[in-house]
Copies of this chain bind each other. A is one copy, B any other.
Amino acid sequence: MQDTEITRRLAAWTVGLDAEAIPETVRAEGVRTFVNWLGCAVGGARHETVDRALAAALPFSGPARAQVIGRAERVDELHAALLNGISSHVLDYDDTHLKTIIHPAGPVASAILAVAETRAVSGRDFLTALIAGIEVECRIGNSVYPDHYDRGWHITGTAGVFGAAAATGRLLGLTELQMTWAFGIAATQSSGFREMFGTMCKSFHPGRAAQNGAMAAFLAKADFDSSLRAIEAPRGWANVLSTKQDYGEIVDGLGTRWEAGLNTYKPFACGIVIHPAIDGCQQLRDKLGARVADIASVELRTHPLVLELTGKTAPTTGLEGKFSVFHSAATALLYGDGSPTAFTDERVRDPAVMALRDKVKATSDGSVHEDAVHIAVTLTDGERIELHVPHAIGSLERPLSNEAIGEKFVTQSVPVIGEVASRALLAMGWALESSDDVAAIASASAAQA
């Protein structure tokens, strides 16, 4: 389609979106997105990446009006957006828009929960802003994916900054013109490389996207102007950062086709490609019971990306364990575990896990879908048990249930803020839409000092 007023039309839609016009299924997905994000932010709050970012940022913080989730510290809203964006992504456990591999909640929710602490925002308005922000970033992502990602851009950062601007802009009540400027200010700060994967800068990207997108909205609110065609201009975002520009993905079917309804949540704290193997091994564990001890061999037939990305046969650290389908299968069979505790240094060095890991073989098969796996277990008595997972748990076909999202939340947050606070926070998360003032959710996430 033509590149006519794409930025302006997206801004008009963002400003004009009425809560009533969002389908119930999409609103429900928004609540799931929020709960999943909140649990991840608490779960990652004590990671050394957050410790170091906080140590660097704290001397520059403005008034302590916003909570660093899962910790005792309070900082200004923009720094809270940065830090919560980091913690929610640092365990690679957050949500995924599968079409673009964008992790939608980090940039958006991190920005607006912080901003909501300084003004009364109802759960209903918050959810509308969250959905608007996710819709904006995923549509912008769709317009350039995969070329943009292939070039080396970490799309969660580059597209996320627009989502943060959109959602924050709604809370600030921007006019259509101001929202157009906010998108321009966001565009001209868009950044983040895939080269940073495996370093602390990976989770810095959604954090900075949240902070920069929010600042874009505050600047626009102060009538700081920008290009009115920041996305579609010949030297605008889509042309400078991508060889593909499909503007129809941005403006067609706004309010009808909802990208925000297509979010997914990882059941396991590792790359999406080994989810089928972990899922299948958990199912086999349930079938085998005590006979797990009698396993002689495990054969996995997987999509080729599995061995390409997670082919480490002898991981020695928890982080390396995330890149080993062998370790992941073994810990799922022995402990039924795919949560963060499955990827600690201790678990990776567990002799029982190491022994079983060495009995796991994997072969690549181009006919196996990315979210599928074939598994065959042979026991010491010669019995052979086979299992086919056509769609891994957490995929769009087998979405995580609300119960599973809740379990994931609690598993992550209890070690950080304790059982009582975790359960209370989870309940507040599910009740988002009926909240009078979402600032209470942020405060409830605080660890006792």
Contacts and interface: CB of A to CB of B under 8 A. Distances in A.
Interface of A: 49, 52-53, 55-57, 59-63, 76-79, 151-154, 157, 184-185, 187-196, 199-201, 204-205, 208, 215, 218-219, 221-227, 229-230, 233-237, 239-240
A324 to B, nearest CB: 17
Contact of A221 (B56, B189, B229, B240): B56
A205 B188 contact: yes
B52 A222 contact: yes
A199 B184 contact: yes
Contacts of A188: 154, 157, 191-193, 195-196, 201, 204-205
Contacts of A152: 234-236, 239-240
25 contacts: A52-B219, A52-B223, A52-B224, A55-B222, A56-B215, A56-B219, A57-B215, A57-B218, A60-B76, A60-B79, A61-B62, A152-B235, A152-B239, A152-B240, A153-B240, A157-B188, A184-B196, A188-B196, A190-B191, A191-B191, A193-B236, A194-B235, A196-B230, A199-B227, A200-B224
A187 B196 CA distance: 10
B193 A191 contact: no
Contacts of A221: 56
Interface centre among A61, A200, A208, by most B CB within 10 Å? A200
Contacts of A223: 52
Contacts of A61: 62
Given A201-B188, A224-B49, A224-B200, A230 B56 contact: no
Contacts of A193: 187-188, 227, 230, 235-237, 240
A226 B199 contact: yes
Interface centre among A49, A78, A237, A240 (most CB of B within 10 A): A240
Tallying the copies of this chain within the complex gives 2
A259 to B, nearest CB: 24
Nearest to A151: B240
A185 B193 CA distance: 10
A151 to B, nearest CB: 6
A159 B78 CA distance: 25
Interface centre among A204, A221, A224 (most CB of B within 10 A): A224
Contacts of A240: 151-153, 193, 195
Nearest to A191: B191
Nearest to A208: B189
Contacts of A57: 215, 218
A201 B215 CA distance: 13
Given A152-B240, A187-B193, A189-B208, A201 B226 contact: yes
Nearest to A195: B235
A153 B78 CA distance: 26
A195 B55 contact: no
A179 to B, nearest CB: 15
